[in-house]
Structure 1
Amino acid sequence: MSINLTDREGAFPNLTTARLSLRELLLSDAPSLFAVHGDPESMRWFGTDAMTEIGEAAKMIQMFAEWRRSGSGVRWAVTRLSDGLFLGTCGLFRWNRNWRSCVVGYELAPIARGNGYMNEALSAAIGYGFDTMQLNRIEAQVHPENAPSIKTLEPLGFLREGYQRQAGYWRATYHDLLQFALLRPEFRRRT
C-alpha cells in the first residue's frame, strides 16, 4: 500500500484542533520562521545553529515541502485559530515505511510557550501519523536539560528509552540526547 502525505484531492493534510490550525508552511511564513530560528536562545535545544539570514528560513520551508513531495515526512505551520498568529512548527520526518516508524520534531515561538499549544498540535500530528501514515512507532530525541520538551512529550505517552552520548552537534559542541518513543497503543490524545 502506498500512502502519500496528502489528502484524497492531493492537497496538503491540514489539521484543526480546538485552538489551532496545522497547515502547510508557505514562503510567506519565512519571516515568522526566521524570528524563531534566528533567536539563539530559541535554538538552544533545537539541534541546529541559529539562522543568520531570512533566506535560510525560505530554504527550510522548501526542504519541508520536499519532505512531503518525496514521502519522507510532513511539517505543519502551527497557527492560532482565533487570529492566525504563527506559533511554530511540528512534523513527522524520517518516515521508514517498512518499519512503520518516524521521528517527531517541533518548536514554538517564545510568545507561545507555556500555553499547551505544542501538546495540542502534537496530539493532532501524532494522531495523523498513527491513523493516516499507519505508523506504529514515533521517536523523539531531546536534550537532557530541555525540561519543557520532556514535559510536552510525556503526557502524550512518550517513554524514555535511553541516553545517547554525544549524538548531536550544534553550537560547536557535542550534545547528549535522551531517546523517547511512543507506540500506537500507548498514545494518549490530548486536546
Structure 2
Amino acid sequence: MIEHPMIETDRLILRKVTLDDAKDMFDYLSDSEVVKHMGIAPYQTVEAVHEEVEWYHSILKEQTGIRWGITLKNSDKVIGSCGFLNRNGKHFRTEVGFELNKEYWGKGVAREALEAVVTFGFKHMKLERIEALIEPGNISSQNLVEKIGFVKEGLLRHYEYTCGKFDDLFIYSFLKGDKTNRKSEH
C-alpha cells in the first residue's frame, strides 16, 4: 500500500481520512451550499459518505490522485478536503479539487490548504501542471485559485454531465515555473 503523506501548515494538518471521519465529512457534504458547484447532490446519510472515503483511498492506490482531509491543528475534526484527481503521470499533470465546511468559509483555510497541496504536488510528485476546473457560477473558488497564481485558460463548454444537466467549466492552470504568491517560496 502506498503511504499517505501528512502536510502541516501554520494552522492546519492535512491528513488521510478514514471511515471514522465520515460523520465530520457528512456535516459539510450534506450541505447544499457546499456541494452546489461540485456536480454532486448533497449526501443523505453518513453511510453514503463512506463511498467518498473509499474513493479517496482508491485514487491513492491507483496513483490517479490523493486527497487530504483538512483539520485545524487544535482539533482532529475533518472540516474539508483538498487534493488531486485525474492525475496523468505520463504528462506530469493533475487536477486539484477542494471543499470546506461553510462554518470555515472566509477565514483563509481553503487558501492555506490549497497552497500547501499545490506546493506538495510540485515538490514531491514531479508535477509540471496543475489544473482547476470550476463552474462559472463559483466565483469564490475562481477568486481563490487566481489569488494563489492559477491562470484562467478558457471555458470548456458542456464539459461534464452532472445532476441531470451539462455543465460548462472554466479551466485554470498553474505551471511549476509560474510566479506564485505561495509563502513557502518567499
TM-score class, shorter:
over 0.9
Q: Which amino acid aligns with 2:145?
A: L
Secondary structure at the aligned position of 1:144 is classed as coil
Asked if 1:53 corresponds to 2:35, the answer is no
Number of matched pairs? 183
Determine the C-alpha separation between the residues in 2 that align with 1:112 and 1:184. 29
CA distance in 2, matches of 1:86, 1:190: 24
- Consecutive unaligned residues of structure 2, counting only runs of 5 or more, are none
Q: 2-side partners of 1:189 and 1:13: how far apart? A: 20
1:108 aligns with 2:100: yes
Could you give the per-residue CA deviations for residues 40-85 of structure 1, whole angstroms, max 9, x where no partner exists?
2211111222222222211110111111111111000000012333
Once superposed, what is the RMSD of the aligned Cα atoms? 1.5
| Equivalent residue number for residue 181 of structure 2 | 188
Q: Is the 8 A contact 1:120 1:190 kept in 2?
A: no
Partner SS state of residue 41, structure 1:
helix
Query: Hey, what does 1:122 align to over in structure 2?
Result: 114
Residues 190 and 152 of structure 1: CA distance in aligned 2, closer, same or farther (over 3 Å): farther
- Give the superposition deviation at 1:35: 1.7
Paired with 1:16 and 1:41, the residues of 2 have a C-alpha distance of: 28
| Amino acid corresponding to residue 130 of structure 2 in structure 1 | I
Aligned 8 A contact 1:79 1:85 in 2: yes
Q: Structure 1 residue 44 and structure 2 residue 36: aligned?
A: yes
Contact 1:119 1:190 in 2 (8 A): no
Distance in 2, Cα, partners of 1:45 & 1:93: 16
Displacement, 1:183? 0.3
State the one-letter code of the partner of 1:159: V
Q: Percent identity?
A: 29
Q: Separation in 2 of the partners of 1:77 and 1:53?
A: 19
**Amino acid of the residue matched to residue 65 of structure 1?**
H
Judge which range, 102-111 or 166-175, deviates more.
Answer: 166-175
In 2, the alpha carbon distance for the partners of 1:184 and 1:96 equals 15
Question: For the residues of structure 1 that align with 2:118 and 2:145, how far apart are their CA atoms?
Answer: 11
- Write out the 4+ residue segments of structure 1 that deviate beyond 3 Å after TM superposition: none
Deviation for aligned residue 1:147: 1.0
SS of 1:42's equivalent? helix
User: What does 1:1-191 correspond to in 2, within 5 Å?
Assistant: 11-186=3-178, 187-190=180-183
Distance in 1 separating the partners of 2:170 and 2:183: 23
Q: Cα offset for 1:173?
A: 2.3
Bigger helix share: 2
What whole-Å deviation, never above 9, does each CA across 1:155-184 have from its counterpart, x for those lacking one? 111000010112223332222111101000
Q: Is the 1:92–1:105 Cα contact (8 Å) retained in structure 2?
A: yes
The alignment's TM-score, normalised by the length of structure 2, stands at 0.93
Structure 1 stretch displaced more, 169-178 or 127-136? 169-178
